[in-house]
């Protein structure tokens, strides 16, 4: 049986504070989510504090379908560690999946360990894992720009 979590590790040509900002700055978050979707800047809200909430809405560029997304910040250690719930903006903390980001400096680079708890995932699933894998590729391009 597959565990209800997965981890993706990536290295970025950017310092941890640059990668961190891409996750917590509303202007940046609206710009790096994966190809095929757009995130209107006005849909992004961030209250970066433990217990604070964030929201954003992804729009499928082909169909126009919208995907409201959000959660609550659980742990914050800027710019090294971030844990937040992830799902529909109205989900309770207890029912939502969790994302943990750990950013490790490597000279001028950053190793990011992305962990999602609450959903099974594997490369090629065409769903959550592949979506996040694509998003992290977009993030890599964004932090290099």
Q: What's the domain count of the chain?
A: 1
Rounded to 5 degrees, what are φ and ψ at 108? -95, 10
Distance CA(33)–CA(131), nearest Å, equals: 10
Q: Which domain holds residue 86?
A: 5-144
Q: What is the mean pLDDT of the chain?
A: 93
**What is the rounded average pLDDT of the residues 117-135?**
90
Residue 124 pLDDT grade (very low, low, confident, very high; cuts 50, 70, 90): confident
Task: Report pLDDT digits (tens) over 35-90.
Answer: 788 999 999 999 999 999 999 999 999 999 999 999 999 999 999 999 999 999 98
Beta-carbon contacts of residue 19 (< 8 Å; ≥ 6 apart): 12, 79, 103, 110, 112, 139, 143
**Residue 82: per-residue pLDDT:** 98
Distance CA(30)–CA(45), nearest Å, equals: 10
**Residue 30: per-residue pLDDT:** 93
**Residue 3: per-residue pLDDT:** 65
User: How many helices (H) and strands (E) are present in the chain, helices listed first?
Assistant: 3, 8
Q: What is the CATH number of the domain that holds 84?
A: 3.30.530.20
The encoded tokens of residue 102 equal 């750990």
Phi-psi category of 10—alpha, beta or left, where left has phi over 0 and alpha has psi -120 to 50? beta
Q: Choose the weakest-confidence range: 31-35, 94-98, 130-134.
A: 31-35
**Residue 1: per-residue pLDDT:** 40
């Amino acid at each position: 049986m597959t565990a209800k979590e997965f981890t993706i590790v990536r290295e970025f040509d950017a310092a941890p504070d640059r990668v961190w900002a891409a996750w917590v700055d509303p202007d940046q978050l609206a710009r790096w989510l994966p190809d095929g979707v757009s995130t209107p800047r006005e849909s992004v809200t961030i209250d970066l504090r433990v217990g604070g909430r964030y929201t954003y809405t992804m729009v499928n560029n082909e169909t126009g379908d919208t995907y409201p997304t959000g959660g609550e910040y659980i742990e914050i250690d800027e710019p090294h560690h971030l844990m937040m719930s992830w799902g529909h903006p109205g989900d309770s903390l207890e029912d939502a999946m969790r994302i943990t980001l750990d950013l490790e400096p490597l000279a001028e680079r950053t190793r990011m360990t992305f962990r999602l708890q609450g959903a099974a995932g594997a490369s090629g699933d065409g769903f959550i894992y592949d979506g996040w894998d694509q998003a992290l590729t977009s993030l890599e391009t964004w932090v290099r720009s």
